[in-house]
């Protein structure tokens, strides 16, 4: 008799949930087709409208369940590792002793205090940091799309060319006129402090059966991902990263470096009544081809649900589910990243972004996650002030375009 492993059970659960999702999508298409026929015949049917909206909402909930299961499956058990070097085992043992008993002397006595400070906490072992970062990439959509640069200092300075050098064609003996030189600008990306403060009882910490490293990783990774995800989209740059929606947006026809270009949806707070998908096509073709090749849509679930009803001129749905569990849905052939911090559709909102986020947005991570044990501030609980330093901002203003829900 074969025993099903924990991973096997999780994968089966994801597969079953995805099967339910695909069946619901087929029911949605059937009902929405009937709704569109009734609109052409009699101007609409209230019962069909409600049915389509109900199935659409169920699709959104089912997709959310699949995402949660996928993220949960991405969390590795910290204990399931290969043989570790002696120094790494000693460091992990010292960190475990610090977490459980508050004994930080073992860090200094074993010369393992690189990057650590008794007043500001201790750097977690690399395995825990990698476990946290792995889930951050799964749960934070912008982190998964953007370029991530690790730094050792507080600020990362990147030179960028805002105006390319001029060039031209000449004959073999023609004179060469002097060309203009490129314009270089420096963009600074400071790393800001992100923190979480999980609490534990001393009884939990005294229990040798509790994997304290796994407990800490589980407590902080989703909190970090949620805070990051919000900042990378809407952050104002004050004590947090600068989100791409915080930059000035201008009509794409008037675009200039330092701003993000936008395409209008065609109606205030909505898509145009006639041919609503046209605005999406215009947005998909707004970036240059080099950025469009790796383009990704970013929007929240409500916006995605509204787009799910749209068809192209050949009567095909422009939104399609992924071909397998864990794969992104696609819109006009480009993947869709769901970001709940994107605004809902409203008058003058920027509810959809499209572009090459790897080239357009930069995230900087200062190496190391620190933990400070605090048994005094919230007795009888022990607090673990856990911090990481992260920053972010637009690095290429050509690579990302927005949709503004306005007439123009």
pLDDT in tens, 303-340: 999 999 999 888 899 999 887 766 889 999 999 999 99
Neighbours of 200 (CB within 10 A): 19
Q: How far apart are CA 329 and CA 408, in angstroms?
A: 29
Instruction: Select the more confidently predicted residue: 105 or 242.
Output: 242
pLDDT digits (tens, 9 = 90+) for 249-277: 999 999 999 999 999 999 999 999 999 99
Mean pLDDT, the chain, as a whole number? 84
**What local confidence, expressed as pLDDT, does residue 30 receive?**
84
Instruction: Select the more confidently predicted residue: 202 or 138.
Output: 202
Q: How far apart are CA 116 and CA 372, in angstroms?
A: 10
**What local confidence, expressed as pLDDT, does residue 31 receive?**
84
**What local confidence, expressed as pLDDT, does residue 1 receive?**
40
Q: What is the DSSP letter of 208?
A: T
Q: How far apart are CA 128 and CA 2, in angstroms?
A: 32
Of 25-29, 46-50, 120-124, 262-266, the range with the highest mean pLDDT is 262-266
φ, ψ for residue 279, nearest 5 deg? -65, -35
The answer on pLDDT for 114 being more than 50 is: no
Least confident of 7-16, 211-220, 285-294, 350-359: 7-16
Neighbours of 292 (CB within 10 A): 17
**What local confidence, expressed as pLDDT, does residue 113 receive?**
38
**What local confidence, expressed as pLDDT, does residue 5 receive?**
52
> Please, which residues bridge with residue 189 across strands?
156
CA 328 to chain centre: 13
Q: Give buried/exposed letters for 141-173 (b at 16+ CB in 10 A, else e).
A: bbbbbbebeebeeeebeeeeeeeeeeeeeeeee
pTM: 0.80
Least confident of 7-11, 270-274, 403-407: 7-11
pLDDT above 70: percentage of residues in the chain: 84
Q: How far apart are CA 165 and CA 168, in angstroms?
A: 10
Least confident of 57-61, 232-236, 324-328: 324-328
Between the alpha carbon of residue 44 and those of residues 30, 206, 250, 313, the distances in Å are 15, 65, 37, 20
pLDDT digits (tens, 9 = 90+) for 282-298: 999 999 999 999 999 99
3-state secondary structure of 281: helix
The answer to whether 206 and 100 have CB atoms below 8 angstroms apart is yes
Q: What is the dihedral of CA 255, 261, 267, 269, to 10 degrees?
A: -140
Q: What is the DSSP string of 34-98?
A: HHHHHHHHHS--HHHHHHHHHHHHHHHHHHHHHHHHHHHHT---TT------HHHHHHHHHHHHH
Domains of the chain: which residue ranges? 9-73, 92-163+182-300+339-408
The answer to whether 375 and 342 have CB atoms below 8 angstroms apart is no
Long-range contacts of 304-311 (CB under 8 A, 24+ apart): 304/60, 304/329, 304/336, 304/338, 305/56, 305/57, 305/59, 305/60, 306/271, 306/345, 307/280, 307/331, 308/28, 308/56, 308/59, 309/32, 309/52, 309/56, 310/271, 310/276, 310/277, 310/280, 311/36, 311/277
Class of 92-163+182-300+339-408 per CATH?
Answer: alpha beta
Structural element, H or E, at residue 143:
helix 141-145
The answer on pLDDT for 352 being more than 50 is: yes
The predicted model gives 364-375 an average pLDDT of 91
For residue 1, with 0-12 CB atoms within 10 Å meaning exposed, 13-18 middle and 19 or more buried, which class applies?
Answer: exposed
């Amino acid at each position: 008799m074969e025993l099903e492993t924990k991973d096997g059970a999780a994968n089966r659960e994801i597969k079953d949930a995805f099967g339910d999702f695909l069946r619901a999508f087929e029911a949605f298409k059937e009902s929405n087709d009937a709704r569109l026929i009734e609109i052409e015949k009699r101007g609409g049917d209230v019962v069909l409208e409600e049915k389509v909206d109900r199935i659409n909402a169920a699709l959104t909930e089912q997709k959310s369940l699949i995402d949660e299961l996928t993220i949960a499956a991405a969390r590795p058990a910290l204990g399931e590792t290969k043989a570790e070097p002696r120094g790494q085992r000693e460091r992990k043992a010292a960190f475990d002793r610090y977490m459980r008993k508050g004994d930080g002397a073992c860090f200094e006595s074993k010369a393992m205090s690189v990057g650590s400070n008794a007043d500001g906490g201790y750097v977690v072992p690399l395995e825990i940091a990698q476990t946290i970062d792995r889930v951050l990439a799964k749960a934070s959509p912008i982190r998964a799309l953007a370029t991530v640069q690790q730094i050792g200092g507080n600020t990362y300075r990147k030179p960028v060319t805002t105006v390319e050098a001029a060039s031209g064609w000449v004959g073999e003996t023609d004179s060469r006129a002097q060309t203009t030189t490129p314009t270089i600008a420096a963009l600074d990306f400071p790393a800001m402090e992100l923190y979480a403060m999980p609490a534990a009882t001393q009884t939990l910490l005294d229990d040798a059966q509790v994997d304290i490293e796994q407990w800490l990783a589980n407590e902080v990774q989703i909190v970090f991902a949620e805070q990051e995800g919000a900042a990378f989209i809407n952050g104002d740059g004050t004590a947090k990263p600068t989100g791409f929606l915080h930059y000035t947006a201008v009509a794409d026809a008037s675009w200039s470096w330092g701003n993000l270009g936008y395409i209008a949806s065609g109606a205030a707070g909505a898509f145009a009544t006639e041919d609503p998908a046209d605005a999406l096509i215009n947005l998909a073709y707004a970036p240059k081809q080099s950025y469009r090749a790796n383009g990704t849509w970013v929007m929240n679930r409500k916006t995605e649900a509204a787009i799910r009803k749209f068809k192209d001129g050949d009567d095909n749905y422009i939104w399609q589910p992924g071909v397998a569990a864990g794969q992104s849905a696609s819109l006009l052939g480009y993947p869709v990243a769901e970001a709940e911090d994107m605004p809902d559709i409203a008058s003058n909102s920027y509810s959809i972004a499209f572009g090459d986020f790897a080239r357009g947005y930069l995230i900087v991570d200062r190496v190391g996650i620190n933990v400070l044990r605090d048994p005094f501030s919230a007795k009888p609980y022990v607090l673990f002030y856990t911090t990481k330093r992260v920053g972010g901002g637009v690095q290429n203003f050509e690579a990302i375009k927005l949709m503004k829900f306005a007439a123009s």
